[in-house]
Homo-oligomer: A and B are copies of this chain.
Amino acid sequence: MHGIKIIIFDDNDSLRDSVSMLVQDSGDFTLAGSYSNCVNVISNILETKPDVVIMDIDMPGMNGIEGVRLIRKNFPTVQILMLTVFDDDEKVFAAIKAGANGYILKNAEPKNLIHAISEVYSGGAPMAPGIARKVLHQLQVILPAEQKDYHLSMREKEVLGLLVDGLSYKMIAGKLNITYDTVRAHMKKIYEKLHVASMTEAVAKAINQKLFSAE
């Protein structure tokens, strides 16, 4: 009957037409909707129930990144493929953070678009070569370093965790049902093992080196 159901958001009419034709031709896809802005993304999707959304970024009303965020929040399983002219870090990473599943550029060949749609639909993450390189590099940079083992005991980790959450010794003692002096004893050990000498250093090291995010 219809294969993969697609809708597209792009304010460029002729591009929408091109994609429309391309998609019709391909045989495996159905274009279930075509919109010049994503002001009504939610209802658009509710009506068309697409498998894949093709999304531009620069559009009047609401930009594509916001659109992606809305879709991802409300329809976690819909696959979103960015199709735009922008390849700057800011836009790329914003789109990814918002929940895009692929990111290709408008200068790509038609064949590649078709391929990208299939790939994003089947659980892949198609990216333009330069984009993929950016993504890999960014990940390389921010991936947490090999996390060292400071040999903290369970209790010490517990105490350090609460410290990172902003609790004072007294509060930690209360929370753990132990004495203020016991907390101090733990802290002394923690300082020793972490090679620090103050709460701030301990917290900074705990967050940076190890894993406490604390929101």
A residues sitting closer than 8 Å to B (CB atoms) are: 93, 96-97, 99-102, 119, 122-127, 129-130, 132-133, 135-136, 138-140, 142-145, 163-166, 168, 196-201, 203-205, 207-208, 213-215
Judging by beta carbons under 8 Å apart, are B215 and A208 in contact?
yes
Judging by beta carbons under 8 Å apart, are A124 and B132 in contact?
yes
Task: Check A136/B135 contact, CB under 8 A, given A130-B124, A203-B204.
Answer: yes
Nearest Cβ in chain B — how far from A143, in angstroms?
Answer: 5
Partner of A143, one of B93, B130, B132, B208: B93
Q: In the assembled complex, which residues on chain B have CB atoms less than 8 Å from the CB atom of A129?
A: 119, 122-125
Task: Check A135/B135 contact, CB under 8 A, given A166-B204, A203-B203, A208-B215.
Answer: yes
Sample of 14 more A-B contacts, CB < 8 Å, known A96-B136, A102-B136: A93-B139, A96-B140, A99-B140, A100-B136, A123-B130, A125-B132, A127-B136, A164-B200, A164-B204, A166-B200, A199-B199, A204-B207, A205-B214, A208-B213
CA distance A165 to B110 in the complex (A): 52
**Closest B residue by C-beta to A133:** B125
**Closest B residue by C-beta to A97:** B143
Task: Check A135/B124 contact, CB under 8 A, given A166-B200, A204-B166, A214-B205.
Answer: no
Offer 5 A-B interface pairs, CB within 8 angstroms, sorted by A.
A125-B127, A138-B139, A203-B203, A207-B207, A208-B214
CA distance A93 to B136 in the complex (A): 10
CA distance A145 to B101 in the complex (A): 18
Nearest Cβ in chain B — how far from A21, in angstroms?
Answer: 26
Closest 4 CB pairs of A and B: A124-B129, A125-B132, A166-B201, A125-B133
